[in-house]
Homo-oligomer: A and B are copies of this chain.
Amino acid sequence: MNGYSIPKATLGRLPQYLQYLKELSQANVSATAIAKGLSLGEVQVRKDLAVVSGAGKPKVGYERAKLIDDLERHLGYEKYTNAVLVGAGKLGRALLDYDGFEEFGVKIVAGFDCNDQAVQLGKNTKAILPIKDIGTYCAQNDVKLGIVTVGQGSAQDVCDTLVASGIEAIWNFAPCSLKVPAGVLLKQENLALSLAHLNNQISK
């Protein structure tokens, strides 16, 4: 994990750069092109990339493959973080099946639900295990991240269980505020608020 020396605002943009570069196919790319593609200022792009990868070459730009490597290293993608998900409703199952997280350094290794029986959903899908086994599972599998996709009513209980299981970060999709102890990271994902914000901009 090399990220701590990077300014937070820069860090927040690194995944954008990485995704943009991964979508390209050419060998070299200029700061101008990156800035245009991401609607960022060119000076900002140069500064950001200088932090992780040094400067581009005049008239050539950055070597795309090297820049991708540098970004991935600085984002800590060399070692995958194991995650578990709790709440196997439709959203939970959608996230369990989504492969896109792995290219961003996170593997969802199992899902948990309040059923007592483990469920194997299909050939290519992850098992859904009973929540009572989560502590043992997290300890045995070096799980650091917990994704909460249960309803509002049980979200805090699930959060507490995850924290007790040694989880270091919680990604919460339940539409309510969660309390976590100091030292545990919390990211609130509120899809309804995102949509409300977009809706508000539509003329009526």
Chain A residues near B (Cβ < 8 Å):
1, 3, 11-12, 14-16, 19-20, 23, 37, 75-76, 79, 81, 83, 89-91, 93-95, 97-98, 100-101, 103-106, 144-145, 168-169, 171, 175-177, 185, 187, 189-204
Q: Is the CB of A201 within 8 A of B185?
A: yes
Tallying the copies of this chain within the complex gives 2
Q: Is the CB of B193 within 8 A of A171?
A: no
Contacts of A145 in B (CB 8 A): 195, 198-199, 202
Query: Which residue of B is nearest A12, CB measured?
Result: B197
* A199-B18 Cα distance, complex, nearest whole Å: 15
* A79-B144 Cα distance, complex, nearest whole Å: 43
Contacts of A11 in B (CB 8 A): 197, 200
Contacts of A193 in B (CB 8 A): 15-16, 19, 104
Kindly identify which residue among B89, B189, B200, B204 contacts A79, using a CB–CB cutoff of 8 Å: B204
- Given the known interface contacts A191-B95, A192-B103, the answer about A198 and B177 at a Cβ–Cβ threshold of 8 Å is no
* A87-B13 Cα distance, complex, nearest whole Å: 28
Contacts of A76 in B (CB 8 A): 199-200, 202, 204
7 contacts between A and B (CB under 8 A): A16-B193, A20-B177, A90-B93, A90-B97, A95-B191, A101-B195, A168-B202
Q: Is the CB of B94 within 8 A of A196?
A: no
Q: Is the CB of B176 within 8 A of A187?
A: no
* A20-B168 Cα distance, complex, nearest whole Å: 26
Expressed in whole angstroms, the minimum distance between the Cβ of A80 and any Cβ of chain B is: 9
- Given the known interface contacts A94-B90, A185-B201, the answer about A175 and B81 at a Cβ–Cβ threshold of 8 Å is no
* A19-B194 Cα distance, complex, nearest whole Å: 13
Query: Which residue of B is nearest A105, CB measured?
Result: B199
Expressed in whole angstroms, the minimum distance between the Cβ of A16 and any Cβ of chain B is: 7
- Given the known interface contacts A90-B90, A203-B1, the answer about A198 and B175 at a Cβ–Cβ threshold of 8 Å is no
Q: Is the CB of A194 within 8 A of B171?
A: yes
* A75-B11 Cα distance, complex, nearest whole Å: 32
